[in-house]
């Protein structure tokens, strides 16, 4: 995904009350020190020399494309008959398929884009009542970028009463031009220590839109050989697994994977559950997404245009489904009650 270079921002949870001349509090200095510790991030472009990532504090994401924008840009949406509607609405569509009750587990994934759309801070206390059972939150991107809404929403979900509880997870967007080990360390610095009841971390592996020479956005992964993309992804996955004790999941889609990694390499990732994105009407009709050959899916993001009530009004969200018993859902996502 293309990286804007906005003015450097301090995380909102520690920035309140600061002036331009005020020395940053200890927590901010610590974040900056952590961001600069460890190996210097390298931008590796196939066929060219490594480019050093300039040092500096964490940077707030602002101009990154949402998952839905990326998918619909490259995979044409379809219309027609379907069982899981693209405009899936919580809680009604999560409770019944026509007149037939549903027993599936539904969830959403969010980033700062969602709060920008509703111009609000999300009140998570109502989501369980709307048949939302889990939520993945965008935490980081590259080696310096972070989602300004992540920390607040992560903490708010963790404080919910037992009857309102949501399973929560964090995801990282893998950038094509930064060392994957440094990206893993960045994610681990921003993400709080996971509890037994938290979902496994997630690696978002898809189009990385960056500006080209003619100022057009292109997928920067097209410059990287397939085997190298797979190698970098596995570095991130294994480092995060070793650090957290939970096996990460991979968010991707078949179209991008087939072109950039190759379906023959899916076996290299067999230990990591797949969260597949597929919004096609034909697949929603039969409730079975398109996945890579010899690959099973754990979660399916079937719509980027679902609706859920946020703070009293309907808001657009990505909708996801797990088909199977709750016990199996917990096993796949690394949840231990």
Per-residue pLDDT of the chain (337 residues; tens, 9 = 90+): 333 333 333 333 333 332 333 333 333 334 344 343 443 333 333 433 324 455 467 788 766 656 555 555 555 454 443 468 878 999 999 999 888 899 999 999 999 999 988 888 999 999 999 999 999 999 999 999 999 999 999 999 999 999 999 999 999 999 999 999 999 999 999 999 999 999 999 999 999 998 887 778 899 999 999 999 999 999 999 999 999 999 999 999 999 999 999 999 999 999 999 999 999 999 999 999 999 998 999 999 999 999 999 888 889 999 999 999 999 999 999 999 8
Give the pLDDT of residue 70: 58
**231 backbone dihedrals φ, ψ, rounded to 5°:** -60, -45
User: How far is Cα 63 from Cα 113, in angstroms, rounded to an integer?
Assistant: 9
User: What CATH number belongs to 12-332?
Assistant: 3.20.20.80
Q: Which segments of the chain are extended strands (E)? A: 42-43, 51-52, 59-60, 96-97, 100-101, 105-110, 134-141, 145-146, 167-173, 202-204, 209-211, 217-219, 249-252, 274-277, 297-310, 313-322
């Amino acid at each position: 995904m293309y990286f804007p270079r906005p003015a450097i921002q301090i995380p909102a949870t520690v920035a309140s009350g600061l002036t331009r001349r005020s020395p940053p509090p200890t927590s901010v200095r610590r974040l900056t020190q952590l961001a600069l510790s460890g190996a210097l991030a390298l931008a590796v472009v196939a066929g060219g020399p490594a480019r050093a990532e300039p040092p500096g504090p964490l940077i707030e994401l602002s101009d990154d494309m949402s998952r839905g924008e990326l998918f619909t840009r490259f995979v044409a949406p379809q219309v027609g008959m379907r069982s899981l509607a693209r405009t899936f609405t919580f809680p009604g569509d999560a409770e019944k398929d026509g007149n037939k009750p549903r027993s599936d587990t539904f969830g959403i994934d969010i980033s700062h884009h969602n709060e920008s759309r509703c111009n609000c801070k999300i009140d998570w206390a109502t989501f369980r009542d709307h048949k939302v059972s889990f939520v993945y939150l965008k935490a980081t991107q590259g080696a310096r970028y972070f989602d300004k809404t992540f920390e607040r929403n992560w903490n708010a979900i963790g404080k919910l009463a037992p009857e309102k509880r949501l399973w929560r997870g964090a995801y990282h967007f893998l950038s094509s031009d930064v060392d994957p080990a440094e990206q893993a360390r960045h994610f681990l610095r921003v993400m709080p220590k996971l509890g037994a009841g938290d979902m496994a971390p997630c690696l978002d592996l898809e189009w990385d839109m960056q500006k080209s020479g003619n100022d057009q956005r292109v997928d920067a992964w097209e410059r990287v050989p397939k085997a190298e993309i797979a190698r970098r992804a596995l570095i991130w996955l294994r480092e995060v697994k070793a650090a957290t004790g939970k096996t990460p999941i991979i968010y991707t889609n078949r179209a991008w994977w087939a072109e950039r990694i190759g379906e023959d390499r899916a076996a290299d990732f067999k230990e990591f559950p797949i969260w597949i994105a597929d919004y096609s009407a034909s697949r929603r009709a039969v409730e079975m997404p398109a996945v890579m050959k010899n690959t099973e899916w754990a979660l399916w993001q079937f719509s980027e245009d679902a609706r859920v009530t946020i703070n009293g009004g309907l808001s657009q969200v990505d909708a996801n489904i797990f088909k199977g018993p709750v016990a199996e859902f917990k096993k796949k996502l690394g949840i231990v009650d």
